[in-house]
Amino acid sequence: MSTNIPIVENILNANDLLAGQIHDRLERAGVFSFNVMASPGGGKTSTILRTVRTLMGEFRVGVMDGDIVPIDLEELAKMGIPVSLINTGGNCHLDANMVIGALPTLDLNALDLLIIENVGNLVCPAAFKLGVDLNVVIASVPEGADKPYKYPTMFRGADVLLLNKMDLCEYQGFDLEYFKHGIEVLNPGVAFFPLSCRTGEGFDAWIDWLRAKIKTRSAATHVGQ
Amino acid sequence: MSTNIPIVENILNANDLLAGQIHDRLERAGVFSFNVMASPGGGKTSTILRTVRTLMGEFRVGVMDGDIVPIDLEELAKMGIPVSLINTGGNCHLDANMVIGALPTLDLNALDLLIIENVGNLVCPAAFKLGVDLNVVIASVPEGADKPYKYPTMFRGADVLLLNKMDLCEYQGFDLEYFKHGIEVLNPGVAFFPLSCRTGEGFDAWIDWLRAKIKTRSAATHVGQ
């Protein structure tokens, strides 16, 4: 006679199941989506604002923000962008359960692009899939060129890496080669865009790349319908 | 007949008990101690290096570093400073259990000052007491003046607040009054030192304040002996 011993599944499995559901719902609605992760003050909000301003004439954009206060969303709301605040209550990351709970606050059929702003943290958010198409990680020049070496999980999980505040590169004496070497070791071939939200330097390359991704999703959805 | 129902204690209580033990051991050995918390790239290592260089002629200093790689400790070790690496294995904070486990790697009786560098994270480390005399929080100018409003728990728990990278203040258009207002609301009267690890601006005021604190501890220990 054999005894079945139940195996406790990885605690992250529940999150992954919900992330899969989010992905299906977004895909069915034809919504391209990405999750923005960075240190506090790395430039998540600035990047999102500039990206939205650049693309809002072409695509219907919505933004979800994991934060304890809605100060980041006010400017977007004024621009007429549908926004949703996930009050994390001081939590250190977003998880799929929080995102799936917030999805009904947005009309997905009225969106082409959903941007999710994660909590400012280079550690915890890396462990929780949100079911989006892309994980966008933003590093910034004043943080120093050693960040990939010190936060490898976050950099390894990036689908796109933006290096923000490039206008400070010379002043900081930022060692771009050292930074890039860390990236190449951890995440070879990752899409990489050095840019500055302040000056706009390098922003076009990121937008062109992103635009092509959104259009590919949009075309696939129309073929499928 | 009454039934005793055991109450599950707050999960943080175990941490607080260990933190109390750390505090007792450091106090008995006459070691003044502080815990440095900041965002990734906010300037923990630069502040520690400059503080150690300035004070190592006056006090016997040791450094404990919560990190996954020892790159921050190499320079200190070269200077002859006793160092201890707590390999956090990618964890998002230090807790008292990690620190108490690392204490035997340092000869406390040969130290006047112990500096603990926490993981780069403005959220999680705030929840775990380490039994030190001071929690030092470092914000930095390029992170933006809104950080106290967005990470209130960390700023509320600070005993000292350093605002680093003041040399970038003018370039960034940093709103110092807005920043200070956030601090005053959350943590009125907290010791506050704007400075720059790069230029040295403002560093003397922090060092003078710290020196007085260490001397007070040292005097109290000698009286008690």
Question: Which DSSP string corresponds to A76-116?
Answer: HHHTT--EEEEE-TT-SS--HHHHHHHGGGS-GGG-SEEEE
Beta bridge partners of B137: B37, B161
Residues 6 or more apart whose Cβ sits within 8 Å of residue A5: none
In a domain, A223, yes or no: no
pLDDT given for residue B201 in this prediction: 97
Alpha-carbon span B208 to B204, nearest angstrom: 6
Q: Which residues of B touch A199 (CB under 8 A)?
A: none
How many structural domains compose chain B?
Answer: 1
Q: Report, as an integer, the average pLDDT of A111-138.
A: 96
Tell me: pLDDT of B8 over 90: no
CA closest to B38 among chain A residues? A40
pLDDT digits (tens, 9 = 90+) for B28-45: 999 999 999 999 999 999
Q: Which residue of B has its CA nearest to A173?
A: B198
Q: Using pLDDT thresholds of 50, 70 and 90, give the confidence band for residue B70.
A: low
The shortest CB-CB distance from A149 to any of B71, B92, B122 is to B71
Closest-CA distance of chain A to residue B221, Å: 38
Contact A153 B122 (CB under 8 A): no
How confident is the model at residue A5, as a pLDDT? 58
pLDDT band of residue A135 (cuts 50, 70, 90) is very high
Chain centre distance of CA A36: 2
Q: Kindly report, residue by residue over B51-61, the tens digit of the pLDDT.
A: 999 999 999 99
pLDDT at A1 > cutoff 90: no
- H helices of chain A, in order, are 12-28, 44-55, 71-78, 96-102, 147-150, 152-156, 169-172, 176-186, 203-224
Question: Where does the pLDDT of residue B88 fall: very low under 50, low under 70, confident under 90, or very high at 90 and above?
Answer: confident
Boundaries of domain holding A163: 37-215
Closest residue in A to B70 (Cα) is A150
Please give the full DSSP string across B57-95, using - where no structure is assigned: TTS-EEEEEEESSTHHHHHHHHTT--EEEEE-TT-SS--
CB contact under 8 A, B143 and A69: no
Model confidence band, residue A191 (pLDDT cutoffs 50, 70, 90): very high
Q: Mean pLDDT over residues A98-116, rounded?
A: 97
**B172 within a domain of the structure (yes/no):** yes
On average, the pLDDT of chain A sits at 92
Query: Three-state DSSP class for B185?
Result: helix
For residue A125, give how far its alpha carbon lies from the nearest alpha carbon of chain B (Å).
10
Are B71 and B121 in contact by the 8 Å Cβ rule? The answer is no
Strands (E), chain B: 32-38, 61-67, 83-87, 113-117, 134-140, 160-164, 191-194
Q: Which of B91, B142, B149 sits opposite A165 (nearest CB)?
A: B142
For residue A223, pLDDT beyond 60: no
Give the number of beta-carbon pairs within 8 Å between A and B.
Answer: 93
A91: left (phi over 0), alpha (psi -120 to 50) or beta: beta
pLDDT of B122 strictly over 90 = yes
Residues of B in contact with A142 (CB under 8 A): 41, 140, 142, 165, 168
pLDDT of residue B11: 60
The whole-number pLDDT of residue B67 equals 74
pLDDT at B69 over 80: no
Pairing of strands B160-164, B83-87: unpaired
Amino acid sitting at position B97 = N
State the DSSP H helix or E strand holding residue A188, giving kind and residue range, or none if neither: none
Summarize pLDDT for B154-209 with one digit per residue, the tens. Answer: 999 999 999 999 999 999 899 999 999 999 999 999 999 999 999 999 999 999 99
Verify whether the Cβ–Cβ distance A71 to B150 is below 8 Å.
Answer: yes
* Minimal Cβ distance to B142: which of A123, A142, A151: A142
Inside any domain, residue A7: no
Minimum-distance CB partner of A41 among B91, B92, B144: B144
Torsion angle (degrees, nearest 10) of CA B116, B118, B124, B126: 30
Question: Does B100 fall in a domain?
Answer: yes
Domain presence at residue A57: yes
Min CA distance, B41 vs chain A (Å)? 4
| Chain B residues with CB-CB distance to A152 below 8 A | 68, 90
% of residues, chain B, pLDDT over 70: 90
User: Average pLDDT of chain B?
Assistant: 91
CATH number for B201: 3.40.50.300
Q: Do A120 and B150 touch (CB under 8 A)?
A: yes
Q: Which of A40, A147, A153 sits opposite B90 (nearest CB)?
A: A153
Angle between helices A44-55 and A203-224 (to 10 degrees): 60
| pLDDT score, position B68 | 67
| Residue A143 distance to chain B (closest CA, Å) | 4
User: What is the C-alpha radius of gyration for chain B, rounded to an integer number of angstroms?
Assistant: 18
**Residues on chain A touching B152 (C-beta within 8 angstroms):** 68, 90
